[in-house]
């Protein structure tokens, strides 16, 4: 799997290449441009080789001194796209959790084929309100956020309508450990696992579980991710939310999902693992 920031890095590399072309087409050396803009000449080199991201002001000055002011807006838009690929939780959740929940509603509604892999929790489309509440409460406390947990729970539950309407298809692969990791109290987990059994019976849902004892020599557990059609991958990291849009990287996640799906068990075998996890709650 590529590094989490590689999609953004590729955009910055392409932007640097275009800025270098603009400079050379204007007949300027890096030293010339640095002198005109009031920069050290090494800054020009760092930007062109994607070792430093330019600011919007940097791009504006670059284009002004190169006689290409008409290209500045498009180049700044490219910069903004790279910046948007990785969003820190602190920025996304600065007003609470509800906004972050609402932000993906349009994406959920337009996606027809969901491929979801999780190695540590039951994913959002299959969560019960109690499980959501326990999960979001823990996140709110850990990150010191405003308390809008109940509003956030309602948004996440409302999003689940896509499972039942509109021709959406969900292929979900879970590591068996997700059935055992306690989110909330025993009643919350029992209700969540029972709900998972019911959701697995829906025609729109394919649920696979990778058993703990399966041979992982070829592919070990990965970071959880959502693959929306073949257009976008969202990955939740410790520090923030990553959006992958490069076709090459999307294909890598699709291939990883297919390999994980091949390791999983389905139907009666998956139900056996879920019911075993339910029974284990009494121990």
d(CA 17, CA 23): 10
Instruction: Look at residue 88 in the predicted model and tell me its pLDDT.
Output: 55
Cα distances (Å, whole numbers) of residue 125 to 158, 161, 169, 210: 10, 9, 11, 19
Buried b (16+ CB within 10 A) or exposed e, 18-42: ebbebbeeeebebebbbeebebeee
DSSP conformation class of 214:
S
Instruction: Look at residue 130 in the predicted model and tell me its pLDDT.
Output: 97
Instruction: Look at residue 86 in the predicted model and tell me its pLDDT.
Output: 63
- Give the residue-averaged pLDDT of 24-45: 94
Closest listed residue to residue 100, CA positions, set 130, 62, 136: 136
Q: pLDDT tens, 95-138?
A: 778 887 888 889 999 999 999 999 999 999 999 999 999 999 99
Cα distances (Å, whole numbers) of residue 233 to 77, 80, 125, 172: 21, 18, 16, 14
d(CA 60, CA 66): 10
Q: pLDDT tens, 230-249?
A: 988 988 877 677 888 777 78
Residues 6+ apart with CB under 8 A from 247: 230
Helix (H) or strand (E) holding 161: none
- pTM here? 0.74
Instruction: Look at residue 243 in the predicted model and tell me its pLDDT.
Output: 81
Q: Hunting for tokens 């990287």 — which residue is that?
A: 249
DSSP conformation class of 265:
B
- Give the residue-averaged pLDDT of 26-47: 93
Q: By mean pLDDT, which of 58-67, 73-82, 120-129 is the weakest?
A: 73-82
Q: pLDDT tens, 128-175?
A: 999 999 999 998 998 888 889 999 999 999 999 999 987 999 999 999
Angle, CA of 113, 165 and 190, to the nearest 5°: 85
- Give the residue-averaged pLDDT of 250-277: 97
Instruction: Look at residue 70 in the predicted model and tell me its pLDDT.
Output: 93
DSSP H helices, the chain, are 6-25, 30-37, 41-48, 56-66, 72-84, 89-92, 98-103, 105-110, 129-143, 149-159, 186-200, 247-263, 267-280
Q: pLDDT tens, 206-230?
A: 999 999 999 999 999 999 999 999 9
- Give the residue-averaged pLDDT of 77-101: 71
Instruction: Look at residue 4 in the predicted model and tell me its pLDDT.
Output: 43
């Amino acid at each position: 799997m590529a590094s989490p920031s590689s999609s953004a890095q590729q955009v910055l590399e392409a932007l640097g290449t275009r800025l270098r072309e603009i400079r050379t087409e204007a007949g300027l050396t890096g030293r010339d441009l640095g002198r005109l803009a009031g920069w050290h000449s090494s800054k020009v080199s760092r930007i062109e080789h994607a070792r430093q991201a330019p600011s919007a002001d940097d791009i504006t000055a670059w284009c002004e001194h190169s006689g290409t002011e008409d290209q500045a807006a498009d180049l700044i838009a490219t910069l903004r796209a790279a910046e948007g690929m990785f969003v820190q939780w602190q920025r996304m959740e600065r007003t609470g959790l509800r906004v972050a929940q609402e932000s993906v509603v349009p994406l959920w509604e337009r996606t027809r084929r969901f491929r979801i892999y999780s190695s540590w929790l039951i994913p959002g489309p299959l969560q019960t309100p109690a499980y959501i509440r326990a999960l979001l409460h823990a996140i709110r406390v850990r990150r010191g956020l405003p308390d809008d947990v109940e509003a956030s729970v309602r948004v996440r539950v409302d999003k689940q309508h896509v499972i039942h309407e509109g021709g959406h298809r969900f292929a979900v692969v879970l590591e068996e450990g997700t059935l055992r990791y306690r989110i909330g109290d025993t009643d919350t987990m029992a209700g969540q696992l029972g709900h998972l059994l019911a959701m697995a019976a829906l025609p729109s849902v394919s649920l696979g579980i990778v058993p703990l004892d399966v041979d992982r020599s070829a592919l070990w557990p990965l970071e959880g991710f959502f693959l929306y059609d073949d257009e976008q991958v969202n990955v939740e990291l410790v520090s923030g939310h990553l959006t992958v849009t490069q076709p090459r990287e999307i294909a890598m996640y699709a291939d990883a999902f297919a390999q994980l799906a091949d390791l999983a068990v389905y139907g009666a075998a998956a139900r056996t693992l879920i019911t075993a996890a339910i029974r284990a709650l009494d121990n």
